[in-house]
Amino acid sequence: MDDTTTPPQTSEDVIDAGRTRIDDLDRRIIALITERVDISAEIQRVRVAAGGARVQLSREMEVIARYREGLGKPGTTVALTLLELCRGRVGPRA
Ligand SMILES: O=C(O)C(=O)C[C@]1(C(=O)O)C=C[C@@H](O)C=C1
Task: Please give the pLDDT value at position 6.
Answer: 84
Interface pTM (ipTM) of the complex?
0.99
User: What does the angle CA 91 – CA 34 – CA 73 come to, to the nearest 5 degrees?
Assistant: 115
Q: Is residue 3 included in any domain, yes or no?
A: no
* Average pLDDT over all residues of the chain: 92
Ligand 1 centre distance from Cα of residue 52 (Å):
12
Asked if residue 16 is part of any domain, the answer here is: yes
User: Which is the closest atom of ligand 1 to the Cα of 83?
Assistant: 9
CATH of the domain at 40: 1.20.59.10
pLDDT digits (tens, 9 = 90+) for 58-79: 999 999 999 999 999 999 999 9
pLDDT band per the 50, 70, 90 thresholds, residue 13: very high
Query: Is 32 part of a structural domain of the chain?
Result: yes
Q: Do the domain assignments include residue 46?
A: yes
Across the range 43-56, mean pLDDT stands at 96
| Residue 6 included in any domain | no
- Assign 1 a pLDDT band (cuts: 50, 70, 90): low
Spatial CA neighbour of 47 closest among 92, 81, 94, 89: 89
- Give ligand 1 pocket residues (Cβ under 6 A): 40, 43-44, 55-56, 59-60, 63, 83, 86-87
Residues whose CB falls within 8 Å of the CB of residue 41, separated by 6 or more in sequence, listed in order: 86, 89, 90, 91, 93
Select from 34, 56, 62, 90 the residue to mutate for testing ligand 1; criterion: most ligand atoms less than 8 Å from CB.
56
Q: Is the pLDDT of residue 91 over 60?
A: no
Asked if the structure places residue 2 within a domain, the reply is: no
Share of the chain above pLDDT 70, in %: 89
Crossing angle for the helix pair 74-86 and 11-49, nearest 10 degrees? 50
Which residue segment(s) compose the domain that 41 sits in?
A: 11-86
In a domain, 93, yes or no: no
What distance in Å separates the CA atoms of residue 94 and residue 85, rounded to the nearest whole number?
13
What's the total number of domains in the chain?
A: 1
Q: Tell me whether residue 62 is in a domain.
A: yes
Percentage of the chain modeled with pLDDT above 90? 83
